[in-house]
Amino acid sequence: MMTMLESQHHLIFYPEDRTKLDECTRRRPAAGEPCSLPTAILVPHASYDRVCEALHRSFEHVAMLKPSKVVFLGPLHQEVLAEHEPAFLFTPRAEGIRVAGVEHVFDAALAAELCTRFKTQVMREDSYFIEEPAFELTLPFIQSYFPGTAVLPILSGSCDKAQLAIYTQVIKQITDLDDKVLFIVSANANALLPAFEAAKHAKAFRDALSQGTSLCEGLRMHAISSCNTAALDAVGRQHWAAGGWNIVGLYRDGIQQQDIFAESDENEKRVWHISAVLGAAHANQ
């Protein structure tokens, strides 16, 4: 018997009913410029009524690809337990996860390889996945656009410089083993903040992505409040990511917007969601 994680977040984040879930995640035709692997997309995480369109927008831009595996890089919103340190990158111990009656199997060989090469920094631990909804809500989209493709989720919190250097090596190791990889980075453009502040942070996040500047640095300076800057910086440091990020959608409350904006007297708290795909830096190499 395979050990399976059970879904925890279906009632809040996505429909538990298989028919409804299939309807929400139904694959759409490829959009945008053709690109090649390895590459990465940025997707947000929240309930489907807020992020369904943004998720499709990112996935459409890589729908023409045939990755041999998908590596999901998600945020860790909780503290790493003292007994798990110095590990800071977590992948499941379970062999798969059951979502809305469908079993999804993880790439156990890749997980084992990473844990062997990065013994103290990468750890197989299920508890973080039980708490964290981002992977679970993205998985039905991965299965819709890339059915039957091996998936490995990795979660991390914010990283110091030494940890970021290791994270960058982990990503490089994955593509050294097999370069037909699609990375999916799950991050919102800002933390839940009053509208004016939220817009300021979301703009700083968007600009750092577009310009290829360090998001971790923006986080350190309190100009950015996104929850997964380390994964974005680790991907951004790869030679195949030199083309930088193309922003393909800006969303607020599930509705696409032309720009990020807010009135200075708005008190409503908001989170902005951004869809992006890596530019084709390596297409001609």
The per-residue pLDDT for range 230-265, each reduced to its tens digit, is 999 999 999 999 888 999 999 999 999 999 998 777
Average pLDDT over residues 137-166: 95
Higher local confidence (pLDDT), 266 or 169: 169
* Residue 33: pLDDT over 80: yes
Question: Other C-beta atoms within 10 Å of 105: how many?
Answer: 14
**Residue 143 corresponds to which tokens in the numbers above?**
């299965």
Q: In 3D, which of 126, 127, 123 has the Cα closest to residue 85? A: 123
| In contact, 194 and 263? CB cutoff 8 Å | no
Residue 138's closest CA among 109, 112, 146, 237? Answer: 146
Does residue 7 register a pLDDT over 70? Answer: yes
pTM above 0.75, yes or no: yes
Q: How far is CA 12 from CA 8, 9, 233, in A?
A: 9, 6, 30
User: What pLDDT, on the 0 to 100 scale, is given for residue 283?
Assistant: 38
- Which secondary structure element, helix H or strand E, spans residue 136, and what is its range? helix 133-145
Alpha-helical segments (H) within 1-75: 10-13, 18-25, 48-60
Of 44, 48, 99, 40, which Cα lies nearest the Cα of 70? 40
Task: Give the DSSP letter of residue 168.
Answer: H
Per cent of the chain over pLDDT 70 is 96
